[in-house]
Amino acid sequence: MAKSEEMPDFGLLHGVKVLSTGTVAAEPYAATLMAEHGADVVQVENARSPEGMRKNVALEWAQDARCKRTIALDIPSKEGRGVFLDLIQWADIWLESSKGGTYKKWGFDDEFLLELNPDLVIVHVSGYGEMGEPDYVRRPSYDPIAQAFSGFMYINSPRGTKPMAVFPGIGDFITALFALWSSLAALLRARETGEGDVIDLSQYEAILRVSAQYPAEYFTKGNQLVRNPDIDGDVGGLGVYECRDGRYVYVALNPSALKSDGLALLGLTGDPDFDRQDAIVAGTARDEKSKRAIEDYCLSHTASEVDRDFNKVNIGCCKIMDYSELGDNPHCLKRESIVEWFDDASGQMVRGVGIVPRVERRPGHVWRGAPRLGQDNEDILEELGYSSADIEKLYAEGVIVRD
């Protein structure tokens, strides 16, 4: 278990108190990112239905629930309501993810909570948002559902192919980043003014917002675009190429590479179509010639050779690596992109992604692994003023549970 005063002093968010009551995966991930940078994050799990990722996706839980404290609480119960309201008064930020209107249905509307804690930042994360057409607000949503509704799945399915979701659940993690920046922006404002705020974040809108030019192309010009697997919009000189050893590279022939060394490597020296260094437009003669030249070079060299040779002449290129290569890569090792920590939930050492981003003076830190169910019940409740007798009563009534 861990008391707040026993937490190490590290990171940019030390002293920020975050209450997280959501489940898989967007909202709790945002809270974990805060915890990795020093915030005191209390994750509330449902005492009646613990987080399924603990068993179903155990290593994702180990990585994405680390650095938090936890309490397993039945919030809607009579006694659980009181504990929840005490946590609301403790917190600077409350993040939750549920169907729109769930907490209001339980009697916890935003106005009431802001009366209890006027400078609280409330962040609702859901598939369709807190307001809108009631049918949509009440719908269940998962990452692929949001991809389908937002048009993201459509634009990533080239014509003539079956629509496919993008995995891992990019919509969950993009939504988490929106939750992260907006809650911290609201906290900054609350500390300046003493007034909290309410953020209504829908997963489909977060994905829609990162869909580049595709929405504007349709809503402005009526162009219903889909992703071409070989190009990026109107930009040519991009694509995946197979190499002599059967491995693949991704190549981006940027304009700055169209100099003597790059042209010589590709056998394009003296070609009048390459006498200028502006962008290559998809479908033009320059695009077709550059693709053929890149393809010929790749088929006569290994992926590692292409990666080395192209980067020497400023052609954007990277071998498409698997995790075995990434973990042994000297750049990855020097940046400590992969780290090891002890996982409390499973009782084993885990290797996974390190702290992102790197911070010079107040770096983040993996100070503990993902907690066991209810691991910090007593410490958290004692900090809220509950006596040993109060805590035992909550256990006896099933309001709180632990492994």
Query: Which H helix or E strand runs over 87?
Result: helix 78-90
Give me the residue label for tokens 């929840």: 84
Active site residue 245: no
Single out the catalytic residue among 64, 110, 143, 172.
172
Tokens of 81: 């309501």
User: For residue 402, what are the CA distances in angstroms to 188, 233, 378, 395?
Assistant: 35, 52, 10, 9
Q: Are 143 and 171 in contact (CB under 8 A)?
A: yes
* Nearest in space to 94 (alpha carbons), one of 71, 77, 70, 119: 119
Number of residues that this document lists for the chain = 403
Q: How far apart are CA 272 and CA 289, in angstroms?
A: 11
Measured in Å, how far apart are the chain's first and last C-alpha atoms?
12
Strands (E), 4-129: 17-20, 40-46, 69-73, 93-97, 121-126
Specify which residues 71 forms β-bridges with: 44
Q: Are strands 316-319 and 248-252 parallel, antiparallel or unpaired?
A: antiparallel
Question: For residues 311 and 317, is the Cβ–Cβ distance under 8 A?
Answer: yes
CA 171 to chain CA centroid, nearest Å: 8
**401: Cβ–Cβ under 8 A, 6 or more apart, which residues?**
47, 72, 373, 374, 395
Taking each helix axis as running N to C, give the angle between helix 285-299 and helix 303-312, from 0 to 180 degrees, rounded to the nearest 10.
130
Tell me whether the omega of the peptide bond preceding residue 168 falls within 30 degrees of 0, making it cis.
yes
**DSSP one-letter string for 328-381:** H-HHHHHTT-EEEEEETTTTEEEEEE--SS--SSS-----S-PPPTTTTHHHHH
Q: Is 307 helix (H, G, I), strand (E, B) or coil?
A: helix
- The catalytic residue positions are 172
